[in-house]
Amino acid sequence: MSEMKPTPDDSVEDIDAFIEAAAANLHDRKEARRESWRLLRRRPSFIIGVVIMGFWVVCALVPDLIAPFDPLDYRTDINASPSWPNIFGTDRGGRDVFSRVIAGARDILKLAPPAALLGVVFGVILGLFMGFLRGWFDTVASRVVESFLSLPVVLLGLLAVTTLGKSNLVVMGTVAVLFTPVVARTVRSAVLAEADLDYVESAKLRGESTPFIMFREILPNVSSPIIVELTVRIGYAVFTIATLSFLGAGPPPPSPDWGSQVSDNYNAIVSGYWWSTFFPAMAIASLVIAANLIADSVQSVLEGS
C-alpha cells in the first residue's frame, strides 16, 4: 500500500496549484468530449454503423410495425422461396423469414449490449482496483485474469448454460463474466499510466478517500479506452451469443432468435433452401459490422490513430 502515501516532499502551496490544474483538467475533458463527438459525426463509417444499429434497435422496439406477419404463429407453405408476400421466403415451419428476422433483433439486442455493458462495468471496477491498489491484490487478480483469458469463451458459456439452466440471465451473466478479465486488463494498464500523474497526487494530498480517487478522479481520465472497449465488446457479445444459440444454448423455440434460426435451418441449405439460413445469418453479420464500424470510429477519434 506504500504507493498510496503522499510523497513527503510535497509542500502545502503546491496543493492549490494542483486543485487549479484539476479544474482545468475537467474543463479540458468537456471540450475534448465535444470535439470528439464533432469528429465522429463526420466519419461516414460511424454514420453507417449508427444507421444499421438504429434500424435493428427500432426493429427490436416495435417489431410489429415492420414485420408484415406474426413471427411465431403465421404459417403458410414450408420452405417457400422468396416471393411476394414472403419476401425472404418461409422456413421449415412455414413461417415468414422476413418477419422472424425483424422480430429476432429483440432477442439479441436485449442480451448483447447489456451483457457487454455489464462485462465492462465489472471489468472497470476490477481494473481500477488492480491498477490503483497494486500490490498483492493486483498480483493475485492478474493471475486470475490471465487464467480466465485462456478459457475458451464459448465452451464456458455452454458449460454455464448446461449446469445453471437455459435462461437469458445465465447467458447474459456468463458473457459478462467472461468479458470482465479482458476489460479489466485494458483498464488496469490505463490506470497504471494515470496513477502517478499530478492530479492523483493532489487528490491524495487533499485526503480524498480511495474510492473517490478511483471513481471520481481516475475513471473520467481513462474513459476513452473504456468507451472503446464497450463498443468493441458489443460486437463480440453479439457474436458470442449468436454462437451459443447456434450450439443449442439459445432461447427455446419458436423464438426468432437469429442464431437459433441459423441452427434450425442450415441443414436445409443442401436441399436448396438457402434463404432461411442466409437472412438471419446476414442479420447477425450486419449487427456485428455495425458494432465494429462504430467501435473503429470511436477508437480512431478517441485514441487518434
Binding site for another protein (CB under 8 A): 72-73, 75, 78-79, 92-94, 142-144, 146-156, 158-160, 162-164, 166, 192, 235, 239, 242-243, 246-248, 252-254, 259, 262, 264, 266-274, 277, 281, 284-286, 288-289, 292-293, 305
Report the run of H or E that residue 15 belongs to, with start and end. helix 12-41
The residue among 33 and 166 lying less far from another protein, judged by its C-beta, is 166
CB burial readout 116-142, b (16+ within 10 A) else e? bbbbbebbbbbbbbbbbbbeeebeebe
At residue 6, the 3 state secondary structure works out as coil
Residue nearer to another protein on the CB measure, 19 or 52:
52
**Least distance to another protein, CB of residue 73, Å:** 6
Closest separation in Å from C-beta 246 to another protein: 5
Nearer to another protein, 28 or 303 (CB): 303
Min dist. Cβ of residue 172 to another protein (A): 17
Q: What is the DSSP string of 61-116?
A: H-HHHH-SS-TTT---STTPPSBTTBTT-B-TTS-BHHHHHHHHHHHHHTTHHHHH
Q: Closest CB to another protein among 203 and 289?
A: 289
**Residue 35 CB, nearest approach to another protein (Å):** 21
Instruction: Give the other-Cβ count within 10 Å of 287's Cβ.
Output: 24
Grid cell, residue 195, equals: 496513477
The distance of closest approach from Cβ of residue 84 to another protein in the complex, given in angstroms and rounded to an integer, is: 22
Rounded-to-integer distance, Cα 237 and Cα 243, Å: 10
Minimal distance in Å, beta carbon 85 to another protein? 20
Nearer to another protein, 214 or 288 (CB): 288
- The Cα 104–Cα 71 span in angstroms is 9
Q: Return the number of the residue (11 or 163) whose C-beta is nearest another protein.
A: 163
Backbone dihedral angles phi then psi of residue 96, each to the nearest 5 degrees: -75, 115
3-state helix, strand, coil in the chain (%, to 5): 75, 0, 20
In the structure grid, which three cell numbers stand for residue 66, read together? Answer: 415492420
Contact indicator for 189, 207 with CB cutoff of 8 Å: no
Question: What's the min distance (Å) between Cβ of 8 and another protein?
Answer: 26
Which residue, 35 or 303, is less far from another protein as judged by CB? 303
